[in-house]
Structure 1
Amino acid sequence: MSGFQIVQTDAPLRVVLVGAGNMGRHWLDVISGTPEVELVGLVDLDLELARGAASDRGLRVDVGSSVTAVAAESGAQAVIDVTVPPAHHAVNTEALFAGLPVLCEKPIAPTVAEALSLAAAAEASGQLLMTSQSRRYYPVLAELKAAIGRLGRIGVVTTEFFKAPHFGGFRDEMDHPLLVDMAIHAFDVSRYLLDAEPVSVDCRTFNPAWSWYRGDAAATAVFEFEGGTRYTFAGSWCSPGLETSWNGSWRVSGERGSALWDGEGRPVVEAVGEPAATRGARDASPDAEPAWTATRPEIAGALDEFVDALRTGRTPSGEVRSNVFSLAMVEGAVRSAESLRPVALDAVFEDAYRAAVAGERRPDVQAVLESWGSAAGALRGRDEAA
């Protein structure tokens, strides 16, 4: 796989936002507060909604229902996709083949098969496709990651997530609202902290008797990672009282100590037997390229990394072929819960690859998918491109 195209200009990145609903309006506020970005267009099937969102903020931008048309009229250089997840594949594919890199709200697609199709579309078009996995973007999370480097080999990572939100709407009707709509954040953070990928999952779900959700709102999932580390997620979306942070509550247990993070404040670390003079962040190799580190939280941090990637060519942490592992953790957990047995994530990927090849309708994307030979071939390409 070749790298994505860089935007070679020092001027603010000209972007079109697709989706003018509640989340779209939140993105409008973040874009307005980001000098490195200029909003030049707003797209939504509901034109009155889009015009109202622009008017409420005093924005004079091109408004329309077609991504390609608005981008062409406005001279856009990139797209931010904030549509509902079932629309992500169509919107992202259209934008990529219009020559526009895309920052897409999570999940990148509803299924791993669609995500692999999008990865192939990004390769075929030569454009960057990145997911906004917003909860990676907490500066204190980078501090926790550095602290973990002092603990030696990691044996166990746990997340407790207990909240009681009354959303109403589609979440109340989902089969697995906690796993599908929320747990991906914690799953993605576990990958970030461990710098490793999951290999299997054993998950069980249930719905407490008092739950206001139709589907299972509580879950326990145990993932095995490369190297044998176990990651356990335990949570409920109908657990009133003593609620955790939206980031959950974390413990990391290693051979030389442990770390705790309440999801909001600074982590607490106890490295047993560590000389005072050596206490500090993990040492970086002098030859290693410095990692990109968020300075703004949540979607603002995702936007900053997207702009940085397009300026420098540095592969962002949410690049589609990396992010597909987080989506596979969700899909594997759901499959395990429904079958009442452990699931190997290799099987999730290969089933998804076959479905992607069988269902692809664009000949150019089909050719890329077939060139991989397997999902493993696609994911090896990610490592070669990084």
Structure 2
Amino acid sequence: MTAPAFRTVPGDGGPLRVAVVGAGAMGRAWLAAVAASPDVELACVVDVDPSVARAAADAAGATGVPTGADLTALAAATDPDAVVDVTVPEAHLPVTLTAFELGLPVLGEKPAAATLPEALCLAAAAELSGLLFMVSQSRRYNAELTRFRDETRRLGRLGILTTEFFRAPRFGGFREAMPHPLLLDMAIHPFDTARWLLDAEPVSVYCQEFNPSWSWYAGDAATTALFEMTGGARYVYTGSWCSPGLETSWNGAWRASGERGSAVWDGDHAPAAEVEGEAEAEGAPPAPPAARVAEGIDGALAAFVHALRTGTVPRGEIHENVMSLAMVASAVLSARTDRRVLLADVLATARAEAAELAEAEVRDILLAHGRGR
């Protein structure tokens, strides 16, 4: 899908005023990011539990900022310019639709919605409203990742990209009860990154999941997925969330293989590449360090503000981000059915389900996309 134009928020020299919705652990991280940014100021904090909203605002040093459980009422009282949605995935659809009804653009935590049909509904609703909906794929905002992408551009045509992800977090709570914890909660980050690194979209996937005998997760905590990408490259993801010892970075360990050489990145430090015909002379100076930029959720917040001020379509805009969620949904379907799955089929089914969920004007946009508009 092609991202449509969206309404900007003209700058008057002052910061963008944001309402933060969701005041749990990630909500508090976003409140810290808002407090640290010179480009935004906190207008209000919303949570289904008003006492949690108040406590989170106070902990962030925003003792005078209004808090409560009703976004509509607080928006009327505080006049924010935008919403930062840090609620659970099941709440992303209603919170984002409420923001659109209030005329407010949204920066939301991943995934865009709890399901692919709901995410497609939100893409169509954003189109209808003329408002920006950007999903924070925060791990894209990493200076060393950008440098790794630069290194892959020296390799000529890319044939294989791989990610290994092995960690052993003991979260407790909902993740340990999920049916597909690694695919549903974590794999969207590397899947999204792979699209950006390859500058390609997924065509098909074959995925297998299993749960090691010692796993403390109820659902399958280990998986391998093979994606065919446009242009013919393959992306292979192998990971586990119950693998203690010699753990990889949270960003995973990456390798790209191209016609002229290979590049690797351990997820934390500077990447390395070896390219035919480009052997460094003895004593040659090392490559310059990557330029420092805002990273993680700070980077996502900065990109959101820049987009609203300039009209520049950001990475993570909903029409672009839907494909990352589609990779997750397709991998889950492949694992369940033990077969190769075409992304186009998954998207067509999801679009039909979305049309059944949506109101008339949003349905018309979904159906137009289905006809290839």
Q: Normalising by structure 2, what TM-score? A: 0.94
1:101 to 77, 101, 105: 105
Instruction: Please give the alpha-carbon distance, in whole angstroms, between the structure 1 residues aligned to 2:243 and 2:300.
Output: 29
Q: Which residue of 1 aligns with 2:306?
A: 308
Could you give the per-residue CA deviations for residues 291-327 of structure 1, whole angstroms, max 9, x where no partner exists? xx98111111100100010011000110001001100
SS of residue in 2 equivalent to 1:175: coil
Could you give the per-residue CA deviations for residues 159-184 of structure 1, whole angstroms, max 9, x where no partner exists? 00000000001111111100110011
Change (3 A) 1:11 1:140: same
Q: Which residue of 1 aligns with 2:55?
A: 52
1:29 to 32, 53, 78: 32
Instruction: Please give the alpha-carbon distance, in whole angstroms, between the structure 1 residues aligned to 2:202 and 2:217.
Output: 29
1:40 to 43, 54, 60: 43
Instruction: Please give the alpha-carbon distance, in whole angstroms, between the structure 2 residues aligned to 1:2 and 1:135.
Output: 24
Which amino acid counterpart does residue 332 of structure 2 have in structure 1? V
The alignment's C-alpha RMSD in Å is 1.7
Instruction: Please give the alpha-carbon distance, in whole angstroms, between the structure 2 residues aligned to 1:365 and 1:334.
Output: 27
Which amino acid counterpart does residue 312 of structure 2 have in structure 1? R
SS of residue in 1 equivalent to 2:33: helix
Is 2:17 the counterpart of 1:14?
A: yes
1:372 to 348, 369, 373: 369
1:341 to 330, 339, 342: 339
Instruction: Please give the alpha-carbon distance, in whole angstroms, between the structure 2 residues aligned to 1:121 and 1:196.
Output: 26
Q: Which residue of 2 aligns with 1:78?
A: 82
Is 2:367 the counterpart of 1:363?
A: no
1:133 to 112, 120, 137: 137
Change (3 A) 1:55 1:249: same
Q: Which residue of 1 aligns with 2:115?
A: 111
Q: Which residue of 1 aligns with 2:329?
A: 331
Q: Which residue of 2 aligns with 1:66?
A: 70
Q: Which residue of 1 aligns with 2:261?
A: 257
SS of residue in 2 equivalent to 1:227: coil
Q: Which residue of 2 aligns with 1:5?
A: 7
Instruction: Please give the alpha-carbon distance, in whole angstroms, between the structure 2 residues aligned to 1:265 and 1:275.
Output: 21
SS of residue in 1 equivalent to 2:269: coil
SS of residue in 1 equivalent to 2:333: helix
Which amino acid counterpart does residue 366 of structure 2 have in structure 1? L
How far the C-alpha of 1:2 sits from its partner, in A, is 4.2
1:181 to 180, 185, 197: 185
How far the C-alpha of 1:25 sits from its partner, in A, is 0.6
Which amino acid counterpart does residue 207 of structure 1 have in structure 2? N
SS of residue in 1 equivalent to 2:225: strand
Which amino acid counterpart does residue 363 of structure 2 have in structure 1? Q
Instruction: Please give the alpha-carbon distance, in whole angstroms, between the structure 2 residues aligned to 1:373 and 1:58.
Output: 48
Instruction: Please give the alpha-carbon distance, in whole angstroms, between the structure 1 residues aligned to 2:331 and 2:342.
Output: 10
1:320 to 318, 321, 326: 318
Where in structure 2 are there 5+ consecutive unaligned residues?
none
Instruction: Please give the alpha-carbon distance, in whole angstroms, between the structure 2 residues aligned to 1:2 and 1:334.
Output: 29
Retained in 1: the 8 A contact 2:180–2:220? yes
Instruction: Please give the alpha-carbon distance, in whole angstroms, between the structure 2 residues aligned to 1:44 and 1:56.
Output: 15
Is 2:148 the counterpart of 1:144?
A: yes
Which amino acid counterpart does residue 21 of structure 2 have in structure 1? V
SS of residue in 1 equivalent to 2:314: coil
Could you give the per-residue CA deviations for residues 141-194 of structure 1, whole angstroms, max 9, x where no partner exists? 111111111100001000000000000011111111001100111101101111
Change (3 A) 1:260 1:198: same
Q: Which residue of 1 aligns with 2:249?
A: 245
SS of residue in 1 equivalent to 2:165: strand
Retained in 2: the 8 A contact 1:120–1:369? yes
Which amino acid counterpart does residue 59 of structure 2 have in structure 1? D
Q: Which moved more, 1:12-21 or 1:69-78?
A: 69-78
Instruction: Please give the alpha-carbon distance, in whole angstroms, between the structure 2 residues aligned to 1:87 and 1:105.
Output: 11
How far the C-alpha of 1:276 sits from its partner, in A, is 6.0
Q: Which residue of 1 aligns with 2:157?
A: 153
Q: Which residue of 2 aligns with 1:167?
A: 171
Instruction: Please give the alpha-carbon distance, in whole angstroms, between the structure 1 residues aligned to 2:39 and 2:180.
Output: 38
Retained in 2: the 8 A contact 1:147–1:280? no
Q: Which residue of 2 aligns with 1:285?
A: none
Aligned length: 363
How far the C-alpha of 1:349 sits from its partner, in A, is 0.4
Retained in 2: the 8 A contact 1:46–1:65? yes
SS of residue in 1 equivalent to 2:274: strand
Instruction: Please give the alpha-carbon distance, in whole angstroms, between the structure 1 residues aligned to 2:149 and 2:14.
Output: 33
Instruction: Please give the alpha-carbon distance, in whole angstroms, between the structure 1 residues aligned to 2:364 and 2:331.
Output: 30
Retained in 2: the 8 A contact 1:138–1:298? yes
Change (3 A) 1:205 1:178: same
Q: Normalising by structure 1, what TM-score? A: 0.91
Retained in 1: the 8 A contact 2:162–2:255? yes
Could you give the per-residue CA deviations for residues 81-107 of structure 1, whole angstroms, max 9, x where no partner exists? 000000000000110121100000000
Retained in 2: the 8 A contact 1:14–1:78? yes
Retained in 2: the 8 A contact 1:112–1:327? yes
